[in-house]
Amino acid sequence: MTKKELIDIVAEGADIPKTKATLAVNTMISAIENALLAGDDVVLAGFGTFKVKTRAERNGVNPQTKETVVIPETKVPTFKPGKALKEKIAK
Query: The domain that contains 41 carries what CATH number?
Result: 4.10.520.10
Q: Which stretches of the chain drop beneath a pLDDT of 50? A: none
Residue 33 placed within a domain: yes
In a domain, 14, yes or no: yes
pLDDT at 65: 94
The pLDDT of residue 59 = 96
Which residue type is seen at 11? A
Domain carrying residue 26: 3-83
90 lies in some domain:
no
- Residue 91 located in a structural domain: no
pTM for the whole thing?
Answer: 0.82
Structural domain count of the chain: 1
pLDDT at 6: 97
For residues 73 and 68, give the distance between their C-alpha atoms in angstroms, rounded to a whole number: 16
